[in-house]
Structure 1
Amino acid sequence: MSDRIITGGRPMGKTEQSWCKAVSCGTGTTVLSLLLSKPLNITHLHNALQNLQNSHPILASKITYSSAAGAAAFSLIIPSTPVPPFKLNSFPLSSTSKLLPTSNNAVSLSHLHIIHEHEMNINPWSIPNLSSTSSSSGVPVFFGSLYELPEGKCAVVFRLHTAVCDRTTAVGVLRELKELMKEVEMENSCFGKVSLVIEDLVPVGKAKKAIWAHGLDILGYSVNSLRFTNLKFKDVSEPRCSQVVRLQLSKQDTSQILADCKLRGIKLCGALAAAGVMAAQSGQRNSGDPLQYKQNSVGNKYAIVTLTDCRTDLEPPLSSHNFGFYHSAIMTMHVVKRGETVWDLAERIYTSLSNSKLSNKHFTDMSDLNFLMCKAIENPSLTPHSSLRTSLMCVFEDTVVDNSESQFGLEDFIGCASTHGVGPSIAVFDTIRDGKLDIVFVYPSPLHSREQMGRMVEEMKRVLVEGRT
């Protein structure tokens, strides 16, 4: 057992370093919010969280920061066994009520929605916070809070640093927590391993690129970014926060959309990206059918970032049980062609993604995109109106499917990551839950308004539902 125990720490990998730099300006906080309809057994929850951290010590790790040699550098402190007790912050109803809307609020949002947005904008990992913490202690990567709600309900919210928690990890946290909460008698789990950083697991030769090719690609991404079409910005000067719009489709609509994807041999991400591009395009014009555009609408170039889970492509391959950040980004650019339907565009977007993966761009361009993200953080003026927008949309290659039965009074949950620092105008987190498509859209406010994003999401829904053949 001792050879599996990881102690001490390690420097962050390049991708992890990028997320650590991004989180200081807001991007890179992953939040999982659960709405429970009945009282929770706090002891069972504490034991479940303790076992979760024992099995995945990266969740019990802490981040440290150093500015030695004039450059920001982040490290991960890995705990020894036993893992220190998990601290769950509790907020009674009197405290929670201060966050909830009054009856005069114009915007009707669920209590879970409001608490989720509140947690998304809490940032303990800013560089000032990390700098004020001694190098030996660091700041935890994993926080938990329990909010009492009216009518005997409660919300349990987990906030994680994205550098150690990609989407697969977030799904795994919820899945394993549900399983652990089933147990009446909680036993100590074995102390698990922390996997290497993604850069150290890329198969030999797959990330190979000549220095001049790196330079050309960085130049190409940079020049193309000046020609990207962006959503209209509402307020580019005020401080930003992350907000959420949610879209839920019926089983019938979900089934039809998935059938249309299967018919064309594409994944849902292609359809979602196409619907987003067409919804953005429709916002550029005043009239007409949103599924087919006039010639004067052609020419707008939109950037789509697709995040793909690299675990099975690494050497050695990892499983979903290996927690950490093992996603990579592929950026593609698309122009809506005259007479093109949403499904024409969806096929073209997905084909571009597939060809990029066949060319190993998710490995060869990894360092280039990390470099450009950090440069955008350091030099906001390089982006339009200093907006720090790097693309129109970000989607995930694979959709999360959750058909698990409701457990321990679980009524609803929301999972996504913040995007108000640097990134897309809208990030798409899609889940098929009990046969229904449930999508969380994250956007930076007030750069974009809730009303603006609400209209865009409704247009995306209309394009998807009415764009059938």
Structure 2
Amino acid sequence: MADSDQTPAKIRPIGGTENSWCKAVIGGTGITVLSLLLNKHPDFSLLQTALHKLQNSHPILRAKLHFDPSTSTFSLLIPSSSSLILYHFDLQSTSQIIQSQKPNVGPTDISSFQILLEHELNDNPWKNLDRSSGEDDDDDGVDVLHASVYEIEERGKWAVMIKLHTGACDRTAAVAVMKELTGLMMSGGGGSQEEEEEGEVGLGVEEYIPSGKTNKPFWSRGVDMLGYSLNSFRLSNLEFVDPNSPRSSRVVRLLMDSDHTTKLLEGCKTRGIKLCGALSAAALIAARLSKCLPDGEWEKYAVVTLIDCRKLLEPALSSHHVGFYHSAILNTHDMKGGEELWELAGRTYTSFADAKNSNKHFSDMADLNFLMCRAIENPGLTPSSSLRTSFISVFEDPVIDETNEDHKELGIEDYMGCASTHGVGPTIAIFDTVRQGKLDCACVYPFPLHSREQMQELIDNMKKILINSL
């Protein structure tokens, strides 16, 4: 469905946070993938129509990301209609892709569905976006949304993969997109595309920050920047397995049954903290235990907590407002061994909550974006040029997904949503969902900087630490 009337594309400059993500995604961090495992044959025409309707309702999803080498700046080009192509990989093509990934999978039993998810996380359509050779300077840019369907060798299974540029679609927006997509598929496409109301493209998050929230005295900004920079040289990480080979993103899954999940959430509520505090604490304890250090030997770890700012902006935005409207707070925590989960969870969450109450998610936004870009441009500023900026990243709030009959009717057997991290970023990024009362975390890490066996052991120990504390 090409743009037949040749109406000129609208141009929207990108904001500061979006610019950071553009640079990060080129290097391999911020490729968001929403994946569905179906046990029913998908209706390709219906799926493509639904995707076109999503792009009409949320024009940023039909945008093309453009780089101007003359000014070294990115912008969003919004065409008047969708040109999305839904790619279909038959059994043979899918089998070849899965086999090509097998050497990197390792001995752990990984499903074909997860292998395809990892393949999508590492297939980067934006990797050459910042080319400056001039030979393609007049091109139309690269789509922010891509979609594929894979036939899986397992009898009667299909994988639907929606790939998005994180700078144009954060986790909250991705959840909304998935809900709208399944709703459109259930309604048979929801009528003709022409009947759909045209949405608008929002501005960058910086344009909606309430007046005064980003204010910071000059000297205070300088001290904070110096503190972030100096602390980065003192931060501890997991042992690096292979810091030199080319990297890709891999996924380990943390699953917890409904009984343990209920007790964990109740434990958090009773103590006045959120799930992110418990997950961070369990990860920190597991990381230190993996090093077999004697108690009393101090290490400093960094935790990044991501906040959905939509409700805090002026005007406030709904969860269906597609774009990137998250901010981050970075805290460091000293570990000496022997920490108890709930005490450490309270400490990590209190540090985050205090920083948020001080508006650091707004006042430090530009500083953290600047440091993120400096790390991308100068990997040597990070340990072993690993590009690790923290040990772990977590979201302030998990995705809550109650049982949906639509899933059964559409044949949705499983799904995962996460983003790549093998460029700049944390050692482990946790994308947590409480689905039908069960905790389900996609934990993404850079490979082979860390091995699958190493990360599987870390996640297994995290789970044990959480369960043993209940």
Q: What is the 5 A alignment of 1:220-369?
A: 220-285=227-292, 295-297=295-297, 299-336=298-335, 339-369=338-368
Mapped partners of 1:87, 1:305: distance in 2: 36
Mapped partners of 2:213, 2:374: distance in 1: 25
Shift of 1:339: 5.0
Distance 1:339 1:443, change over 3 A: closer
Deviations 1:120-159 (A, max 9, x none): 0011112357656444511100000010112021101011
Mapped partners of 1:259, 1:133: distance in 2: 56
Shift of 1:466: 0.3
2:179 matched residue in structure 1: 175
Mapped partners of 2:338, 2:460: distance in 1: 22
Q: What is the 5 A alignment of 1:39-50?
A: 39-50=41-52
Distance 1:248 1:6, change over 3 A: farther
Mapped partners of 1:424, 1:390: distance in 2: 6
Deviations 1:199-223 (A, max 9, x none): 1110000011123322211110000
Deviations 1:268-308 (A, max 9, x none): 0000000010000101216xxxxxxx6424x2110000000
Q: What is the 5 A alignment of 1:132-151?
A: 133-135=136-138, 137-150=140-153, 151=155
Mapped partners of 2:365, 2:264: distance in 1: 31
Secondary structure class of the residue paired with 1:227: coil
1:157 matched residue in structure 2: 161
Q: Is the 8 A contact 2:147 2:161 kept in 1?
A: yes
Secondary structure class of the residue paired with 2:118: helix
Runs of 5+ unmatched residues, structure 1? 287-293
Shift of 1:371: 0.4
Q: Is the 8 A contact 1:417 1:442 kept in 2?
A: yes
Identity of aligned residues (%): 52
* Pair 1:190-2:167 in alignment: no
Shift of 1:427: 0.3
**1:79 alignment partner AA:** P
Shift of 1:7: 5.7
Shift of 1:321: 1.1
**1:73 alignment partner AA:** T
Shift of 1:100: 2.5
Deviations 1:384-442 (A, max 9, x none): 11010000000000100111232410000111000000010000000011111001100
Secondary structure class of the residue paired with 1:322: coil
Mapped partners of 1:256, 1:241: distance in 2: 35
Mapped partners of 1:153, 1:134: distance in 2: 41
Runs of 5+ unmatched residues, structure 2? 1-6
Mapped partners of 1:152, 1:339: distance in 2: 49
TM-score relative to the length of structure 2: 0.93
Deviations 1:184-238 (A, max 9, x none): 3632311101111101110000011123322211110000111111110001110
1:37 matched residue in structure 2: 39
How many pairs align?
452
Mapped partners of 1:171, 1:432: distance in 2: 13
* Pair 1:99-2:101 in alignment: no
TM-score relative to the length of structure 1: 0.93
Q: Is the 8 A contact 2:69 2:130 kept in 1?
A: no
Mapped partners of 1:302, 1:185: distance in 2: 48
1:124 matched residue in structure 2: 125
Distance 1:446 1:337, change over 3 A: closer
